[in-house]
């Protein structure tokens, strides 16, 4: 984490440093970034930089925490109408993710980088943080779903949690591509995402895919094939 010296910095100076880091990491991820680029982008001396952060990892973690903070704020802003039902909650999660990607594309990119670079490594995950979209998050999510009788008991929660995690992290960009021109209205807030027909129809489709797989007994499913 940053030193106390950094935390004492003036608002705009800190913002300048953070924005440069956000820009760099969003483009190149953690592994692709360079300290020199971070420093030059910040407009301060290199020595100062090392007085604020212990190294690149430190900066990345800090920026990542900013991203998560902002997403949390956005999530609070977009209150969910009926989060009790578990698939309504999942749908709400995707809406938050879409809005976050639209409004804070760089911070969103950083989160994706963090997720993917974590997946990529064979190192054991950090299970300590029950983060939104993290490895243990959807596990807990599904466990709750079973308790609430929204998810079928036969579902292998660990397996399904990974499936949800993959969908959660990899689907958003595709959804946004599909939004096309109507993305602008969502980004600016002119359209409420909860009432945007295109978004909702895509989410209908996606949620149907997921919900059908999670909510039903396979024996019952087999009896009522669509064909």
In the complex, the residues that contact a second copy under the rule CB under 8 A are: 29, 31-32, 112-113, 116, 119-120, 149-150, 152, 154-156, 158-160, 162-163, 165-167, 169-171, 174-175, 178, 202, 204-206, 208-218, 220-221, 223-227
| Total residues in contact with DNA, by rule CB under 7 A | 18
Could you please report the per-residue DSSP string of 90-129? HHHHHHHHHHHHHH-HHHHHHHHHHHHHHHHS-SPP--S-
Q: Enumerate residues 6+ apart whose C-beta is below 8 A from 39.
A: 45, 46, 49
56 binding DNA? (CB under 7 A): yes
Helix locations, the chain, DSSP H: 4-7, 11-32, 35-42, 46-52, 56-77, 86-103, 105-120, 135-147, 157-170, 172-179, 182-188, 197-215, 218-223
How far, in Å, are 90, 141, 186 from residue 84 at the CA level?
10, 12, 25
Could you say which of DNA, a second copy, none residue 210 binds, taking C-beta under 5 to 8 angstroms by partner kind?
a second copy
Q: Which span sits near DNA by CB under 7 A: 2-10, 90-98, 159-167, 205-213?
A: 2-10
Site for DNA in 15-54 (CB under 7 A): 33-37, 44-48, 50-51
9 binding DNA? (CB under 7 A): yes
Could you say which of DNA, a second copy, none residue 205 binds, taking C-beta under 5 to 8 angstroms by partner kind?
a second copy
Interface residues toward DNA, by CB under 7 A: 4-5, 8-9, 33-37, 44-48, 50-51, 55-56
């Amino acid at each position: 984490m940053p030193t106390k010296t950094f935390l004492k910095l003036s608002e705009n100076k800190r913002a300048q440093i953070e924005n440069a880091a956000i820009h760099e990491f969003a483009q190149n991820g953690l592994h692709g970034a360079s300290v020199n680029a971070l420093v030059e982008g910040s407009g301060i001396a290199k020595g100062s930089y090392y007085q604020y952060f212990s190294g690149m990892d430190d900066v990345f973690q800090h920026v990542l925490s900013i991203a998560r903070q902002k997403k949390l704020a956005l999530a609070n802003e977009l209150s969910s109408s009926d989060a009790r039902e578990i698939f309504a909650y999942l749908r709400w999660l995707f809406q938050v993710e879409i809005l976050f990607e639209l409004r804070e594309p760089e911070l969103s990119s950083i989160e994706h980088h963090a997720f993917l670079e974590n997946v990529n490594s064979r190192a054991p995950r950090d299970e300590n943080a029950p983060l939104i979209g993290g490895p243990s998050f959807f596990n807990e999510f599904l466990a709750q779903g079973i308790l609430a009788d929204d998810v079928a008991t036969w579902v292998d929660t660990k397996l399904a949690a990974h499936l949800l995690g993959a969908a959660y992290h990899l689907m958003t960009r595709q959804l946004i591509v599909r939004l096309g021109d109507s993305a602008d209205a969502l980004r600016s807030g002119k359209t409420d995402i909860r009432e945007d027909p295109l978004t909702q129809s895509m989410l209908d489709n996606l949620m149907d895919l997921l919900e059908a797989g999670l909510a039903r007994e396979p024996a019952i499913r087999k009896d009522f094939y669509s064909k």
